[in-house]
Amino acid sequence: MKMIRIIIVTVIFLLAGCAENRTTQDDKEQFVDSLLAEMTLKEKIGQLTLYTSGWTITGPALDSNYRKYITEGRCGNIFNAHTVAYNTELQRLAIEKSRLGIPLLFGYDVIHGHRTIFPIPLAEACSWEPALAKKSAVLAAKEAAASGLNWTFNPVADLSRDPRWGRIAEGSGEDPLLGSLFTAARVKGYQGDNLSDSNTIAACLKHFAVYGAPEAGRDYNTVDLSMRTIREVYFPPYQAAIDAGVSTVMASFNEINGQPATSSTYIEDILRKEWGFDGVLVTDYGAIAELIPHGVATDSAHAGMLALKAGADMDMQSGVYMQSLEGLVKEGKIDESTVNRAVRRVLRLKYDLGLFEDPYRYLDAQTETEVVHSEELMDHALEAGRRSMVLLKNEPYKGKKILPVMNAPARIAVIGPMADNRIDMMGSWHASGDAQMVVTLEEGLKNRFGNADIRTAMGCGFYGNDISGFKEAVRLAEWSDLVILAIGENYVQSGEAASRSDIGLPGAQQQLTETIVKTGKPVVAVLFAGRPLTINWIDEHIPAILYAWQPGTRGGDAVADLLSGEYNPSGKLSVTFPRNVGQIPIYYSTKNSGRPFNPDDKYTSKYLDVPNEPLYPFGYGIGYSEIRYSDLQIDRKVISFGDTLHISVTIENVGEYPTEEVVQLYTRDLVGSVTRPVKELKDFRKVHLEAGEEKTVTFALTADDLRFYDIDMQFVTEPGDFHVMAGPHSAELLTTAFRLER
Ligand code: BGC
C-alpha cells in the first residue's frame, strides 16, 4: 500500500514538475482522494488528532503512548515538539513505521518569534507598520521552519478593549482597521507565496470567535455581545486573515452568545459559508472535552459528536476524537462522510506544505544552525523593538528635558525588577525564546553609554510587599546623576490565564517608585508590560515615561537607542490607557449617548470620581520633535456614491530631530439609521520628516469606506453628513465636514 502511494505521489510531482512546477487543484484532490480511499477509519481519526509533546528541563519528551499512536497511525499531528533532531525522530516514526507513512504536522505557538523574540504583538501594532509585522512573521517562520516546525498557532486576531484580559498582549489592540492590517500582514509573512517553501509555515488564525471580550476581563469567561458589535468591531481582523489566505483557524475557548465556540454554528455559517474558509479548523487545547463543563454535552462522545458536526476538524489534546469517533460512526451517530470532510482538509494542508513530496523538508540540521539567532533575526529584533515602544511623556525637569540623554551623565542608576532581567523582557508566549540571548536593560545601556558608570538595584520583585531592597535602591539613586526606573510586569503577569482586576504596578513597585522619586533625582520611567497599566501617579510625578512593553531579545538595546536619541521614538498606542479599571471597557470609538458629558449638567454621562477621558488615548505617542498639524483640506464639500474624496493635511517637524509621524484619519457619520461612533479610524500614514521639514499628506475616501451594519444588518453606506478628522492621535484632531449624496 505504502509503495502504491509513494508511486502516486512521485508521478504527481513529476507531472507537476513538467508543468513548470504548477500542481493543479485537481492533482491535489486526486491525491487526497486516493489516499483517503486507502485509510481505515482509525487512520482517518488519527489525522484529526493533535497531541502535545511534553518538554522537560533537558529537552522534549513524548509520552511513550504517543510514539505508539504515531506508529499505529492514530496520531497524525504533534505540537510543542521542535528542533530538527527531535522532530526528525518523530517524523521517521510516522513515515517509516506507520502503515501509510503519512507525515506529521508539527505545530507550535510561534507568537512573536521562535528562538529570537520580537516585541509582543500588541507592542508591534504600536509601530503602525503592518510591513514590520510582516517581516517579523517572515523571519519567525524562517527560524521556526529551520527548527523543524511547519505550523504556527498565530496570528491572534482577537481584538480587545479590556486590559484586564492578559491576552491583550497577543493581539493588535482595540481597533478593527489596525487589527485587520496587522493580522493579514502576519498571515502573509508566515505563509509567504508558497506554503511548500522550506522557510514558510502554515499560519493559524485564532481564536475564533471574539475571545478578546470576556466578561469582566477574566480569561475563558463568557462572551455575550450584540451581533452588530461583533460584526463591526470584532470580526474584521478574523475576516482579514481569511482573505489573506490563512490555512488554518483555531476555535476559541469561550462561549459566544450562548454557544461554546468549539461547537458553534459560527464555524459553518460564518467562517465556512460566509467567509469561504475551507482549511483546517483546530480546536483549542482540550476544548472538546470542555463542552461538558460548558453544559452542552452530556459526556465526551456527545462532545465529540457536537464538535465534529459543527466543523471542528482537529482535536487538540482532548483525545475525544481518538476515543469516541469510531464508536459514533459505527453507531450511526456520525456519518463517515463527516469524518472524511475533516480528513481531506488535513491531508490538503500536508500536501500544500509539501510534506508528501518530502516529509523531511523542514528538517535540516545545517539550516537550523545557520538560521537560529542569525544576524538577520537579531537585527530585526532590535529594529522591531525600537519601532514598537511608545514615549508617553517628556516634560522638563528643573527647566530642561531629560530625554534624549545626549551626553550621558557620569553615573546612572537603573532601579527596579526589570533593571537586569532577561526572561521577562520576552513577555508571555515566548515559547522557546532563548533567555540567554536577551540583552537586558543594563547591558543595553552599557552598550550605548560606554563611558558612564551604570549600576543596578532591583529594589523589589514583582510580588508581595518585601521592601528590604529599598535601602540599597535609595542609596544608588542618591549616588547617581540620573535614575532609570525599570518597572512593570513579569512575563506571567500577562498572557494566557493572567487576567488582573487591578492593573497597577504589581508588588511593591508603586512604593518603590514613590520612594525613588522622593530622592529628588531626575527620573525616567521605563515600563515593561504586556498590557496598559494604570500609571496615573507616574504620569503626575515623573517627567519622562517610555512604554517599552515586552520588547524581546534585543529589548535592552532598543530602550537605550530610544533614551539616547539614537532612534527618535515613533510608536503610537494601539490601545487606550485607562486611568483606572473602573473605566474599562474604554476605547476611542465610543458612541455619543443621548447625554454626552456636559460639565454644567449633573445628569450627563460621567463618573463622579474620574474624568471620562483615558490617561492616554488610542493613537497617542510622542517623539523628541514637535509635529505641527495644519490646513486640513477636502477637495469638495459634497460627494456622490462612486466619487472619491481627497483629504489633505499639512504636518511640520518643528523640532530638532528627524522623525517619523503616524498621521491618522478618522470619520464620524453624524446621523444614521443606527447610532454611529464619534470617531472611526479610516486610514493612516507613517511619514518621515527631517528637522524643519513640512509635508502634505493626502488620503482618499470613498463611500465604501463609510459602510456599517444598518438597522436591517445590511452592510451599507447611508447618505448624509460626515465629519472627517486628521491629527496625531484620536483625541487631538482637526475637523472638517462633507456631505454624501445619492
Ligand atoms: C491557547 C492557544 C494555544 C494552545 C496551544 C491554548 O491554551 O489558548 O492559544 O495555541 O494552548 O499551545
Which helix (H) or strand (E) element contains residue 560?
helix 555-564
State the closest ligand 1 atom to the C-alpha of 207, by its place in the atom list counted from 1.
9
Element (H, E) at 394: strand 390-394
Q: Are 187 and 195 in contact (CB under 8 A)?
A: no
Q: Which residue has the cell 464620524?
A: 668
Decide whether any atom of ligand 1 lies within 6 Å of the 112 Cβ: no
C-alpha cell at 383: 529594529
Helix (H, G, I), strand (E, B) or coil at 340: helix
294-348: per-residue pLDDT in tens?
999 999 999 999 999 999 999 999 999 999 999 999 999 999 999 999 999 999 9
Residue 21 has pLDDT above 50, yes or no: no
What pLDDT sits at residue 706? 98
Q: List the residue whose alpha carbon is closest to atom 5 of ligand 1.
A: 285
The alpha carbon of 153 and the centre of ligand 1 are apart by a number of angstroms equal to: 8
Averaged over 276-282, what is the pLDDT? 98
Measured in whole angstroms, how far is the alpha carbon of residue 474 from the centre of its chain?
38
Q: What is the pLDDT of residue 408?
A: 77
Average pLDDT, the chain: 95
**pLDDT reading at 3 higher than 60:** no
The pLDDT tens digits for 422-440 are 999 999 999 899 999 999 9
pLDDT of residue 62: 74
Residue 470 pLDDT level (bands cut at 50, 70, 90):
very high
- Look at 8-12, 94-98, 142-146, 244-248 and tell me which has the smallest mean pLDDT: 8-12
Output the pTM of the full model. Answer: 0.96
The whole-angstrom separation of Cα 42 and Cα 317 is 17
> Which conformational region is residue 707 in: left (phi greater than 0), alpha (psi within -120 to 50 degrees), or beta?
beta
**How sure is the predictor about 59, in pLDDT bands with cuts at 50, 70 and 90?**
low
Within 8 A by CB and 6+ apart from 49, the residues are: 69, 74, 75, 76, 77, 314, 315, 319, 321, 322
Q: Would the CB of 285 count as within 6 Å of ligand 1?
A: yes
Q: Are 423 and 495 in contact (CB under 8 A)?
A: no
To which residue does cell 488535513 refer? 346
Q: Is 481 a catalytic residue?
A: no
Q: What are phi and psi of 474, to 5 degrees?
A: -65, -40
Provide the grid cell at 8: 502516486
Q: Say yes or no: CB of residue 496 within 6 Å of ligand 1.
A: yes
Q: Whole-angstrom Cα distance, residue 216 to residue 499? A: 9
> Please, which pLDDT band fits residue 61 given cuts at 50, 70 and 90?
confident
Read off the DSSP letter of residue 435: G
Evaluate: CB of 284 within 6 angstroms of ligand 1. Answer: yes
186-213 confidence digits (pLDDT tens): 999 999 999 999 999 999 999 999 999 9
Ligand 1 center to 284 CA (angstroms):
6
Mutate to test the pocket of ligand 1, among 78, 153, 220 (most ligand atoms within 8 A of CB): 153
CA distances for 506 relative to 105, 151, 530, 555, angstroms = 40, 35, 12, 21
Place of cell 498557532: 153
pLDDT, position 54: 77
For residue 93, how many other CB atoms are within 10 A of its CB?
20
Q: Considering 284, 424, 557, 561, which one is annotated as catalytic?
A: 284
Taking the centre of ligand 1 as the mean of its atom positions, its distance from the CA of residue 206, in whole angstroms, is 9
- Name the CATH code of domain 375-583 (choices 3.40.50.300, 3.40.50.10800, 2.40.50.220, 3.40.50.1700): 3.40.50.1700
Cis before 244? omega within 30 = no
- Give the pLDDT score at 540: 98
Q: What is the pLDDT of residue 433?
A: 96
Residue 15 pLDDT: 47
Ligand 1 near 51 CB (within 6 A): no
Atom of ligand 1 nearest to the CA of 317: 5
Distance CA 558, CA 152 (A): 26
293 Cβ contact list (under 8 Å, min separation 6)? none
- Helix or strand run (H / E) with residue 90: helix 84-92
Residue 666: name the closest of 578, 731, 739, 596 by CA.
731
588-592 mean pLDDT: 98
SS (H, E, C) 161-229: CCCCCHHHHHCCCCCHHHHHHHHHHHHHHHHCCCCCCCCCCECEEEEECCCCCCHHHCCCCCECCCHHH
What percent of the chain clears pLDDT 70, i.e. is strictly above it? 96
Under 8 Å between Cβ of 226 and 169: no
Q: Is the model's pLDDT at 367 over the cut of 80?
A: yes
- Ligand 1 touching residue 629 (CB < 6 A): no
Q: Per the CATH hierarchy, to which homologous superfamily does domain 627-741 belong?
A: Immunoglobulins (2.60.40.10)
